[in-house]
Every structure is written in C-alpha cells, then in structure tokens.
C-alpha cells in the first residue's frame, strides 16, 4: 500500500492566508463558511440571483452543483466566484464521473463493476482522470468513493454504488480511487459514514436503521472508513442513519450524533479532515425539523460543513442563538471555520483564477477516456461458469445464435461478434413480449450454441434492475437448450433471480450495459483476452463473493 503522501490534504490552520482571511470575517461570515448550498446550472435567472445573494450577502462557504452541462456550470462558477469575498469551495457528487450530473461528459463504471477488477491500478487511473476533469471544471471536492459494504441485496440506494461485500477489497479499491483524485489536487470524500450498506431503506425518503451490535460494526461497516482515514482521505461524509449501537437515543440520525461524530470520529479515531453532512434536504432529516434546526443540530454534533443547507439566513441566526445559549462556543465555530479555510488553501483557492471555457468539452472528452473505459471493462469481465470449456468459442464450424434480451435492434455486442464469426441474431424486448417464449426457444433449439445476452440499463432494485417479468419467463426456458452461454450486461444481482441459470454451460458477468462491456465480452468469448474479474457480491447458488470459474 502506498503511504500517506503530500497529496493527502494537510489542513494548516495557522498559515498566513488562513489567519488573514479569518480575521476579515465577522461572526455571521464565519458561520457561513460552514454552509454549502445546492446550485443548478439548468434553472432560471431567479435561481441564479438567489444563489448569488447567498454568496454575496451572507458569504456562504461553497456550492454543490447538480444537473445540466459543463460549459453552463463553469460560467456560473465564474459568476458566483466573482461575487464571493472568500473563494467558494465547489463540490460535485460524481461517483462515476461528471456524467453522474452533467450532460455530454465522460461516463465511468459504477463501483459494482470496479469491485470485480483484478487490477486496482485501473481504479487509480480512473480516479486520476475524474480528478483531472474536476480540476478543469473548477471543482474542488468529489463526493466519492462510497465505501459502504453492500451486504444487503435489497439495498435501494447503495447496491451498485458499492465496491461489494468484502471489507478488505472495499477498502483497497476505495483507497485507489481516493489517491487518484487527491493526486490531482481534488479532495476525495469517504461516504456514507458509518456505513449505509446493510439497509433496505433509502435515506432520501426515510431514516434507515442499522441494527447491528458494536462488535459487528467495528468488524465490518466501520473498517473501510478507518482504512481510508489512515491512508489520508481528505473528507468524510456522515449519513442520515440511526445506529443504536453507536448512539442509542431513539430515531437519532448519525448526522445529529455528537457521540458518533465528535467522540468517535474526531476524538477516538483522531480524524482531522473535513466532515461533511449528507444533503440536509433529504427526508431522513428534513422531515424531522425545520431547516434551521436541522442545520444547528448538525453543527452541534460536530460536522464541519452543512451540505444543501436550506434557509441560510435562519440557519445562521439559529446557530448564533446556540452560541448565545452556550450549546456551542464561538471558539469551536472559529476552529471549524479555520479548518474550512485551510482546506481551501490546500485546494489552491488562495490563488483562485477563473475557469477557461474555451475548449472545455473537448478537453473533458479526451480519447484516453475511451481507452481507460475499455481496459476497466475488460478486466472486470467475470467468467462464472465454463462447463465443457465453451469459452472461448470453438474455431470449428458451428451454428451460432445470439439472443439479445432487452434490446430491439442490433447491439454493439452483436455487431462486433459478427466481425469475428458467423452468427444469427434475435431480439426480445418489453415491446416484443407478446412473442411466445416457447416459439422463440424452439428456434434457438436448431443451433449448436446459443448466446443469451441480458441487456438491462436500470441498476436499482426499486426499478427491478430494468428486467421486465417477461424476460424472466423467457429465461426459465434455458434448460430446454443444449448449449447456452448466458451473459449479463446489467446489475450482478439479476443472475440470482434467474431460475435454472446454473444449467447454462457458460455464465459471464459484465456488470453494465455499455459499448465497452459489450466489446470486452466479445474479446473474452473469442479468446483474445482472458476473463480476470471476480464476483464482488454473493449471488447464492454457489456463487459467493470473490467467485470466478
């Protein structure tokens, strides 16, 4: 493991720039440095003026951008920065790159796919490329990686966003991603502390409960966070979770827990980096109290930065009231303000320059993005079953069919495969589900070998992973065919829901439905490359975490 390096944020609160900047701020402005609000580049001028007023009049510390395109975001960033007394910290939630929020920007794999990789250096390279793009955009913090351990297949909010179920691999891969970002001067953020993996409730909608005992939490959920902290992660995001083993007060989110944030994270673990709340407009906390009370409770618990803080004027007044009541000292507020300023210093905001828009989209969509995406997809392909060595495909003449489930037209996989071998193509989509599965399978029965490709773009369990019931009905007919290779271009958990899947001669997991995974799958099938990936999650049916054929 690489040691903590100079690119691990060192927050020097005693530097001249921090001291000089801090001294220029009044009480309200010092509180405001702890506040970030949500900003959108696809909204009207009224929104722009609202954000501008919060920057100019109240001196908020930063913005988290959501939605639209890169050029508009940069133009707004320059506009807001011009209004700021202290340069703004700009953040984005870009786990799979800028494309998570912005149109026409590079899309990188979800963490579930990354969890299958044998070469973690590819995750580092991805993190570095995302960091380069953030830097080019004037973005200082990327809220990634998620180091939750997804040990609950029914998790509606983490799931494909996690590296998997093995705590060691989750930590290793999270560290690689973190180093990639921070070596580019962009702060990483380990989330969602103390671990959002083992829940079936979405904290955007309600307050999840993590019921495990302390020993289990220390052994599993907390472990990756400790690893990333020991290797220099610049920030941690606290999630809206109720964890009775860490704080037994009823229905108390970790966001509001002094014991979890100040006692455990800051004092017991000695963490000195930035501590962000998760978005304070999420219903898990927003439904409990008015926005200003939510913000104050989060500050009293020990958070450094309030994300998506609503009603900023009232929040500042309520925090001032808490100081007057002796619930928190002015010295503590000042300490956190200096900490935020020290982070801005590390991020280079003491020498802020406007972001150039010329050539922006071309620089973001560099050709190296395509090469890296393919290399990642290729290394992730997991061969789960290979009875009678059906992979790679035989060079001997054979009648070969490819059935694409979930697609109406010729897929990238089918196009590329046709360049390599003779193959007949079939399709079965939601729009075509009136076709009788028996009839379609009867046609497949005339072939020596059948490739059945499941293409599913939806990754959430709440969206059934993009699988129409008719797809499963068709797949139940698999045993009627003599030689089948099943390929999943979608969430790995799909495989656990396919009856009789183990009867297939070959099973290949590609994890996502992209042109990169489809090309990589063809290259494995035709023997150009070996399948190197391993399962990041447990799919039952004899397919445990880490399994590969």
Check residue 201 and give its pLDDT: 75
CA distances from 65 to 36, 56, 80, 143, 521 (A): 10, 18, 12, 11, 35
Check residue 411 and give its pLDDT: 98
Check residue 433 and give its pLDDT: 59
Average pLDDT for 56-65: 98
Quote the pTM value: 0.96
Confidence of residue 434 (pLDDT cuts 50, 70, 90): low
User: Does residue 185 contact residue 347 with C-beta atoms inside 8 Å?
Assistant: yes
DSSP count for the chain of H helices, then E strands:
20, 15
User: Does residue 73 contact residue 102 with C-beta atoms inside 8 Å?
Assistant: yes
Q: Prior bond to 194 cis, omega within 30? A: yes
pLDDT at position 355 over 60: yes
Digit-coded pLDDT (tens) for 380-427: 999 999 999 999 998 888 899 999 999 989 999 999 999 999 999 999
For the chain, percent of residues with pLDDT exceeding 70: 98
pLDDT at position 541 over 90: no
Confidence of residue 5 (pLDDT cuts 50, 70, 90): low
pLDDT at position 435 over 60: yes
Digit-coded pLDDT (tens) for 32-54: 999 999 999 999 999 999 999 99
Confidence of residue 549 (pLDDT cuts 50, 70, 90): confident
**Cα Rg for the chain, rounded, in angstroms?**
25
Please state, in angstroms and rounded to a whole number, the distance separating the CA atoms of residues 276 and 253. 14
Check residue 7 and give its pLDDT: 63
Which one has a higher pLDDT value, 442 or 268?
Answer: 268
Average pLDDT for 64-85: 96
The secondary structure of residue 354, as a DSSP letter, is P
Digit-coded pLDDT (tens) for 115-156: 999 999 999 999 999 999 999 999 999 999 999 999 888 888
Residue 236: name the closest of 268, 202, 285, 278 by CA: 278
Digit-coded pLDDT (tens) for 465-521: 999 999 999 999 888 888 999 999 999 999 999 999 999 999 999 999 999 999 999
Check residue 115 and give its pLDDT: 98
Check residue 438 and give its pLDDT: 82
- Kindly report the average pLDDT of the chain as a whole number: 94
Check residue 197 and give its pLDDT: 86
For the chain, percent of residues with pLDDT exceeding 90: 87
For 31-56, letters b (16+ CB in 10 Å) and e give bbbbbbbbbbbeeeeeebeebbebbe
Please state, in angstroms and rounded to a whole number, the distance separating the CA atoms of residues 69 and 363. 14
Which one has a higher pLDDT value, 206 or 238?
Answer: 238
CA atoms within 13 A on the CB side of 43: 13
Burial of 248 (0-12, 13-18, 19+ CB in 10 A): exposed
Please state, in angstroms and rounded to a whole number, the distance separating the CA atoms of residues 65 and 14. 30
At 271, phi and psi to the nearest 5? -75, 130
Please state, in angstroms and rounded to a whole number, the distance separating the CA atoms of residues 544 and 542. 6
Check residue 62 and give its pLDDT: 98
- The contacts of residue 271 (CB under 8 Å, 6+ apart) are 229, 236, 265
What is the secondary structure of 376-419 as a DSSP string?
HHHHH-EEEEEGGG--SPPSS---EEEEEET-SS--HHHHHHHH
pLDDT at position 1 over 60: no
pLDDT at position 6 over 60: no
């Amino acid at each position: 493991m690489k040691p903590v390096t100079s690119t691990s944020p060192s927050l020097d609160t005693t530097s001249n720039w921090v001291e000089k900047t801090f001294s220029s701020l009044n009480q309200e402005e010092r509180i405001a440095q702890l506040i970030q609000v949500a900003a959108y580049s696809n909204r009207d001028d009224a929104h722009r003026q609202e954000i501008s007023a919060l920057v100019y009049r109240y001196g908020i510390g930063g913005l988290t951008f959501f939605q639209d395109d890169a050029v508009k975001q940069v133009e707004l960033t320059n506009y807001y920065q011009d209004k700021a007394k202290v340069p703004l910290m700009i953040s984005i939630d870009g786990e799979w790159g800028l494309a998570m929020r912005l149109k026409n920007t590079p899309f990188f794999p979800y963490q579930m796919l990354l969890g299958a990789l044998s070469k973690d250096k590819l995750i580092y390279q991805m993190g570095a490329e995302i960091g380069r793009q953030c830097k080019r955009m004037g973005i200082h913090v990327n809220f990634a990686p998620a180091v939750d351990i997804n040990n609950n297949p029914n998790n509606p909010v983490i799931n494909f966003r996690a590296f998997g179920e093995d705590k060691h691999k989750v930590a290793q891969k999270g560290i690689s991603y973190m180093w990639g970002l921070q070596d580019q001067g962009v702060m990483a953020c380990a989330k969602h502390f103390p671990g959002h993996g083992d829940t079936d409730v979405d904290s955007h909608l309600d307050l999840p409960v993590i019921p495990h005992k302390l020993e289990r939490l220390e052994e599993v959920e907390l472990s990756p966070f400790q690893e990333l902290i020991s290797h220099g992660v610049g920030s941690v995001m606290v999630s809206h979770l109720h964890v009775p083993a860490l704080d037994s007060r009823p229905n108390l989110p970790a966001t509001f827990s002094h014991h979890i944030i100040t006692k455990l994270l800051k004092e017991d673990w000695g963490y000195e980096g930035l501590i962000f709340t998760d978005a304070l407009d999420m219903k898990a906390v927003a439904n409990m109290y008015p926005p200003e009370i939510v913000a104050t409770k989060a500050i009293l618990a020990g958070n450094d930065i309030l994300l998506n803080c609503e009603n900023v004027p009232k929040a500042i007044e309520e925090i001032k009231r808490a100081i007057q009541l002796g619930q928190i000292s002015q010295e503590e507020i000042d300490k956190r303000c200096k900490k935020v300023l020290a982070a801005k210093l590390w991020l280079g905001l003491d020498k802020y320059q406007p972001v150039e828009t010329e050539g922006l989209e071309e620089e973001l969509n560099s050709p190296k993005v395509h090469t890296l995406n393919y290399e990642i997809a290729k290394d992730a392909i997991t061969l789960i079953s290979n009875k009678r060595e059906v992979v790679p495909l035989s060079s001997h003449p054979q009648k070969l069919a490819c059935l694409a489930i979930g697609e109406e037209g010729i897929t990238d996989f089918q196009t590329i495969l046709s360049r390599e071998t003779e193959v007949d193509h079939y399709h079965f989509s939601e729009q075509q589900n009136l076709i009788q599965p028996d009839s379609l399978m009867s046609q497949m029965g005339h072939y020596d070998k059948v490739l059945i490709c499941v293409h599913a773009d939806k990754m959430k369990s709440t969206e059934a992973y993009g699988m129409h019931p008719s797809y499963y009905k068709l797949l139940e007919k698999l045993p009627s065919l003599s030689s089948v290779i099943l390929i999943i271009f979608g969430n790995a958990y799909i495989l656990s829901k396919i009856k009789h899947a183990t009867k297939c001669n070959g099973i290949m997991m590609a994890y996502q439905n992209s042109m990169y995974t489809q090309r990589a799958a063809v290259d494995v099938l035709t023997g150009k490359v070996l399948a190197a990936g391993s399962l990041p999650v447990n799919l039952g049916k004899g397919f445990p975490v880490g399994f590969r054929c």
